[in-house]
Amino acid sequence: MTETLPALVQRATELSRDWRLSSVRAWKQRTGALAIGYLPVYVPREVFHAQGVLPVGLTGAGDDLEIIKGDAFYQSYICHLPRSTIELGLNGSLDCLDGIVFPATCDVIRNLSGVWRMQFPSKMSRYLDVPQDFDRAMGGVFYRHELEDIAREIHERGGRKLEAEALRASIRVYNENRTLVRELLTLRREAPWKLPTAELYVVLRAGLVLPVEEHSAMLRRYRDLAQADAERRPRDQARVVLTGSFCEQPPLGLIKTLERAGCYIVDDDFVPVLHWLRGDVCTEGDPLANLVTAFLEDSIDSPVRYCGDGTKGQELVQRVDESKAEGVLFCAPSFCDPALLDQPMAQAALDGRAIPWTSFKYSENTGQFHVIREQAGTFADSIKLWSEA
Amino acid sequence: MSVSTKNPPLAATAKDDSQVRQKQMIAAHYARLARASESGEKNVYTFVPGNLTELLRSFDLLPVLPEINALQSGMRGKSAEYIALAEKLGHSEDVCTYVKCDIGMLKSGNVGPTGERLPSPDLLLLSYTGCFTFMKWFELLKQEYQCPVVMLHVPYQAEGRITDSMRAYVTAQIRQKLIPALEQVAGRKYDEDRLKECLARSAQAEEDLVWVLQSAKNRPSPIDAWFGAVYYVGPIFSAFRGTPEAVEYYRALRVEIQERLTKKLGPVTPDGMMTEEKYRLVIEGPPNWTSFREFWRMFAEEGAVAVASTYTKVGGMYDFGFRHDPERPLETMAEYCMGCYTNLDLSTRVGILTRYMQEYEADGLLVNSVKSCNSFSAGQLAMLREVESRTGRPVGFIESDLVDPRYFSASNIKNRLESFLQMIAQKRGGAA
Ligand code: SF4
Ligand code: SF4
């Protein structure tokens, strides 16, 4: 029996909330292969895949888990993600992982790599330093070395040796996935009533735990079903870009609240690993070099990526233009330095173009949304009034 | 804890020669900066961890350290208004207060610690060492100034060591990006011999600094290695490493401390000399600057002295043997950057703290966790427990902030400090 749209969305929702990683456990049982977790915001999953490893994206525990031990590891003024990650480690939810890679996203994730290593010394725990110098001869050489080193360690732990042909094949598989993600993001821009963000979000997020081939199949099916659903009609909602939620993810209830408050989210920062690289990675020649070059030269703009030419915020303005948005929601996790330090620059760029914005903060386990609903509702109303005037 | 256990009134003190000397050096430096527009001298804004002062000095460029300006603003009681201004301008209450203090100062006319206006930067040298916020800080400043910015990405020592790839990466950036940018700003060619001279002077000063810091292994310790040592590391962490003045300063400081050691004197505190050393502490984390003297007094009154601290290693980790090596000028600078304390992984940090506890015969470890700084604070609680289990000695935890007075609660800190010291006393009693 073919899966219906509600059933598909239900399956994606379950996968996106599956902090016990039952799908990963099942996969491991089936294949006997390794599964390695990674923290936000970006790792080159192609390398893992080419070594026969399932890359598993970790983004905390959302609002489903009571934090008991994790709070003893982190002060109140540190974001929520590391405490829920530690909680998951301590309650055994992540036992099925053969290791975790901590990319150089921020000081919290950087230091979490150290806490993790002290707490779970027998597991593979790798810090992936990503270059902030984007010159091929400097940052490129360094980054390649980092990737080779990780691949070597994965091989030592039982993964396949990284071979060029396998990596090329993996790049192709991920290119296909990225193409589908881009297609869905474009469709949402064009018709956000067909692909509501609360739905698209879980469908994309399922890609953190599913094997990429299965995720691509899910994306294809979702695309077809959502487009074919004649019940989905446009409503009078304000088109907004949501930014700041690239790491710790907001609870699903918050996204639904924003949509119910009168916003069409036509662009966002959620689960950036899926679309960190803007285009396809080249499949000719040296595949590792191609992955390196794609990271250096084709990454999206992000608060965690250095921008030294004074053009901060310009890409956000461009996203507003391209998505025909009428305003921006700054929606960042509390105490998230990268997102919050970036905001004044982005806001200045928006002000320069008289693009309206509003801002609020959340934590992955925020449970009360009425203040945000009020704020987003007022914002959406003011945008609509403005456009009518 | 009863009042009778407090230290007796502390003996009076006069200003040490080294302190006078340091004051003069700082005053002269800021005066030079204030005159820069007339004199034509160029300046470079950069950060304390991973500062390449020798290289800048070899080009006759004057370093400006925004973190030092922020902490000075904190000590001068200006930070609250600067932070308030930055928050009014849209900066979040959640982020590092050094950044907001600096932005507030800039928006209030960029008047430095000596009351004179600081020049705008001719170059922003973003030495991205051990702290993510540095990147955002200079991206923010880049919006304010029409000057070039150089990113020097310093990889993190995640595995507790410097690999060839890391060294090559940093060295290549210094050679191929930074030096050409400095040549452009300074209008002169890179002079390696001059750089080597500076580096040789750095090594000399580093030798004396280490001697001073390690003098705390004695009983009583002649220094306070946290409150007191923030002054000692001042010149070497800021604009003076590699200069003849720094060499002289550290030589004079060493002579002074040697004298204290010979006379078996304790450290000088805000109220004079500490007469009885009751508790020897290792301290992890930066101090608070807005109530610095009050904070120090809380320790001094209890006879608690810091014998080693990690904050005094953020601008360079010298006590385990690293010295700038003039024979390998670029590589040594790369290694220096990568070796700064906050660029070290947590296991290495725990190893350092454990070593300090043992080598300095400390009674306990105290963490001052500052709200501003994820680079220090994230993971400190796990480190604390690890050190406790490795050493079996008491650990304590207090919270404050660097320059935001809203997060300094004197009563809270005092209570926690007193219970921590009580714990040490009890442990001693139990062991007796
Ligand atoms: S939410 Fe922000 S501060 Fe927290 S781990 Fe993620 S990027 Fe770092
Ligand atoms: S986060 Fe910490 S290291 Fe970074 S600028 Fe702020 S106080 Fe300094």
Q: How many CB atoms lie within 10 A of CB B276?
A: 11
Which chain B residue is nearest to residue A360, measuring alpha carbons?
Answer: B92
Contact across the interface for B375 and A340, Cβ inside 8 Å: no
How many structural domains is chain B composed of? 1
How many Å apart are CA B414 and CA B422, to the nearest integer?
Answer: 12
pLDDT at B13 over 50: no
Contact across the interface for B165 and A342, Cβ inside 8 Å: no
pLDDT at B2 over 90: no
Contact across the interface for A133 and B386, Cβ inside 8 Å: no
List CB contacts (< 8 A) between B132 and chain A: 106-107, 110, 304, 337-338
Sign of CA dihedral B181, B206, B98, A85: positive
Split at pLDDT 50, 70, 90, the class of A1 is low
List CB contacts (< 8 A) between B95 and chain A: 337, 340-341
Q: pLDDT of A237-254, one tens digit each?
A: 999 999 999 999 999 999
pLDDT at B37 over 80: yes
Indicate which atom in ligand 1 lies nearest the CA of residue A82: 5
pLDDT at B373 over 90: yes
Q: Where are the beta strands (DSSP E) in B59-171?
A: 62-64, 123-128, 149-153
Token match 């953020």: residue?
B314
Contact across the interface for B374 and A337, Cβ inside 8 Å: yes
Token match 């209008």: residue?
B187
**Option in B158, B345, B378 nearest A82 (CB):** B378
Q: What percent of chain B has pLDDT over 90?
A: 94
pLDDT at A171 over 60: yes
pLDDT at A14 over 90: yes
Average pLDDT over residues A26-51: 98
Q: Over chain A, what is the mean pLDDT? A: 96
Q: How far is the CA of B120 from the centre of ligand 1 (A)?
A: 32
> Tokens in use for B77?
């009681």
Average pLDDT over residues A350-374: 96
B389 touches chain A (CB under 8 A): no
Split at pLDDT 50, 70, 90, the class of B11 is very low
- Assigned domain for B1 exists: no
List CB contacts (< 8 A) between B378 and chain A: 74, 78, 82, 107-108, 111-112
Contact across the interface for A138 and B173, Cβ inside 8 Å: yes
Average pLDDT over residues B318-340: 98
- Assigned domain for B11 exists: no
pLDDT at B430 over 80: no
- Which ligand sits nearest to residue B287's alpha carbon? 2
pLDDT at B5 over 50: no
Contact across the interface for A115 and B382, Cβ inside 8 Å: yes
**β-bridge pairing B272-273 and B279-284:** unpaired
Q: How far is the CA of B376 from the centre of ligand 2 (A)?
A: 8
Asked which of A30-34, A56-60, A167-171, B427-431 is least confident by mean pLDDT, the reply is: B427-431
Split at pLDDT 50, 70, 90, the class of A102 is very high
Q: How far is the CA of A121 from the centre of ligand 1 (A)?
A: 23
B345 touches chain A (CB under 8 A): yes
Instruction: Pick A17-165's CATH classification: 3.30.565.10, 3.20.20.70, 3.20.20.140, 3.40.50.11890.
Output: 3.40.50.11890
Average pLDDT over residues A262-272: 98
**Option in A142, A310, A345 nearest B169 (CB):** A142
The predicted model scores a pTM of: 0.96
- Which ligand sits nearest to residue B374's alpha carbon? 2
> Tokens in use for B213?
């810091």
Average pLDDT over residues B185-200: 98
Token match 């003011």: residue?
A382
Boundaries of domain holding B339: 17-431
Nearest alpha carbon to residue B210 among B219, B193, B223: B223
**Option in B369, B378, B399 nearest A111 (CB):** B378
pLDDT at B432 over 50: no
Asked if A319 contacts A244 with a C-beta cutoff of 8 angstroms, the reply is: no
Sign of CA dihedral B41, B46, B49, B52: negative
- Per-residue model confidence (pLDDT) at position B74: 97
- Assigned domain for B178 exists: yes
Average pLDDT over residues B228-247: 96
For residue B379, the distance in angstroms to the closest alpha carbon of chain A comes to: 6
- Per-residue model confidence (pLDDT) at position B3: 35
Average pLDDT over residues B19-39: 95
Q: What share of chain A is helix, strand, coil (3-state, %, to 5)?
A: 50, 10, 40
B406 touches chain A (CB under 8 A): no
Average pLDDT over residues A279-288: 97
Q: Over chain B, what is the mean pLDDT? A: 95
Q: pLDDT of A327-347, one tens digit each?
A: 999 999 999 999 999 999 999
Q: pLDDT of B91-134, one tens digit each?
A: 999 999 999 999 999 999 999 989 999 999 999 999 999 999 99
- Per-residue model confidence (pLDDT) at position B325: 98
- Per-residue model confidence (pLDDT) at position B6: 56
Burial class of B237 by CB neighbour count within 10 A (0 to 12, 13 to 18, 19+): buried
pLDDT at B9 over 70: no
- Per-residue model confidence (pLDDT) at position B19: 86
For residue A114, the distance in angstroms to the closest alpha carbon of chain B comes to: 5
**Option in B90, B168, B386 nearest A343 (CB):** B90
Bigger pLDDT: B18 vs A136: A136
Report the b/e string of B303-323 with b at 16+ CB within 10 A. bbbbbbbbbbbbbbbbbeebb
